[in-house]
Amino acid sequence: MQDMDKEFVEYVVKALVGHPEDVYVKRSVDDMGVLLELSVNPEDMGKVIGKAGATAKSIRTLLRVLGSRNDARVNLKIIEPEGAEPRDHRETSANDRAEPVAPAAAPADAEPERDATSEMVARTKREFADLDDLDL
């Protein structure tokens, strides 16, 4: 029962990232509550954080709900990869300053990409349905 929060984070994050084998969650408990430290492959940081931090915020919200059911305060800390500067202190690259470029026309072989996306959406729906069946 006590590692359910850790297993939940691992399950959700592994479903999001491109390198699930690099997902590692460390759980520690102190007088402030439970702290889960999440580290992922540097290439997957954007997927875990999400646009404007929406994905990370959603995971934290779900953890709060899970923790409240067990009368525990659960916090999630996402570990920055080694050698990376803190997000607030990174300098803007030349690509970030460039004018936006209009998207190119979709190639004729775009249909397989749509099928892959549809399959991913279907798989995610099945995984969330499986989560619904769990007594969390």
pLDDT of 54-107, one tens digit each? Answer: 999 999 999 999 888 888 899 999 998 775 555 554 444 444 444 444 445 555
pLDDT for the residue numbered 68: 87
> How far apart are the C-alpha atoms of 70 and 64, rounded to whole Å?
10
pLDDT for the residue numbered 8: 92
Sheet holding 33-39, edge to edge: 24-30, 33-39, 74-78
CATH code for the domain in which residue 60 is found: 3.30.300.20
Specify the DSSP class assigned to residue 43.
G
pLDDT for the residue numbered 69: 85
**98 within domain boundaries:** no
**96 within domain boundaries:** no
**89 within domain boundaries:** no
Number of folded domains that form the chain: 1
Average pLDDT, the chain: 77
Q: For the CA atoms of 4, 6, 11, 17, what is the dihedral angle to 10 degrees?
A: 170
- Whether the per-residue pLDDT at 48 is higher than 80: the answer is yes
Range of the domain at 125: 4-81+109-131
| pLDDT tens-place string over residues 81-90 | 775 555 554 4
